[in-house]
Amino acid sequence: MTKDEIFDVVDDQDNVLRQETRSEVHRQKLKHRAVHILIFNEQEQLFLQKRSLLKDNFPGLWDSSVAGHLDAGEDYDVACIREVNEELNVTFEDSPERLFKIDSCQETGYEFIWVYRGLHEGPFNINRDEIDCGEWYNTEEVKRWVEEKPMDFASAFVLIWKLYYG
């Protein structure tokens, strides 16, 4: 995160308007794009990451297995594959299953988000610049945790979880 990345700024329908730096996009709360990947194992446990304290948004909070912005000119499926590799050092040949798309809102940090579901058994070689640690959790455990302590999680994950598990 030393360089200032370039993101596509998008309109209310997720159409590209122009490009801006990450810092400007976040400072001005401009609409942009991201992916979140929920990675499950064969026991249907979900891998959650605890965001690095170096992150500019939601440092030290729990989040989706993988979460990241799209680079300028990148599409969602390509970003999904890239982010899984960058954060967990896992290579997917094809993008995981698309679950649903969330429109830009305050809870997502003004990101349009495509949410994916991936399968992997681990272990993962996590990127310490992005992730402090990660653990497998049973879905009932996550459900209870989100209900009882939503402040432990990045706000986008709370929204994703509620949409996924109701």
Q: If you average pLDDT over residues 48-67, what whole number do you get?
A: 94
Q: Work out the average pLDDT over 4-25.
A: 96
CB 155 within 8 A of CB 107: yes
For CA atoms 70, 81, 131, 112, give the dihedral sign: positive
**55 found inside a domain:** yes
Count of domains forming the chain: 1
The CA distance from 65 to 87, in Å, is 9
CA 106 to chain centre: 15
Nearest in space to 31 (alpha carbons), one of 9, 15, 56: 9
With cut-offs at 50, 70 and 90, classify the pLDDT of residue 3.
Answer: low
The pLDDT of 110-134, averaged and rounded, is: 96
Reported pTM = 0.95
pLDDT tens profile 59-81: 999 999 999 999 999 999 999 99
1 pLDDT exceeds 70?
no
Q: Residue 13 belongs to a domain with what CATH number?
A: 3.90.79.10
Domain contains 1: no
* 138 within domain boundaries: yes
What residues form DSSP beta bridges with 10? 16
Dihedral sign from CA coordinates of 79, 80, 84, 87: positive
Residue 113 belongs to domain spanning: 6-165
Note whether residue 16 is domain-resident. Answer: yes
Is 14 among the domain residues? yes
Least confident of 13-17, 128-132, 157-161: 128-132
- CB-CB contact of 84 with 36 (8 Å): no
**Res 56 pLDDT > 90:** no
Structural domain includes residue 104:
yes
Cβ within 8 Å of residue 14, ≥6 positions away: 31, 33, 103, 104, 112
State percent of the chain over pLDDT 70: 98
pLDDT in tens, 127-142: 999 999 999 999 999 9
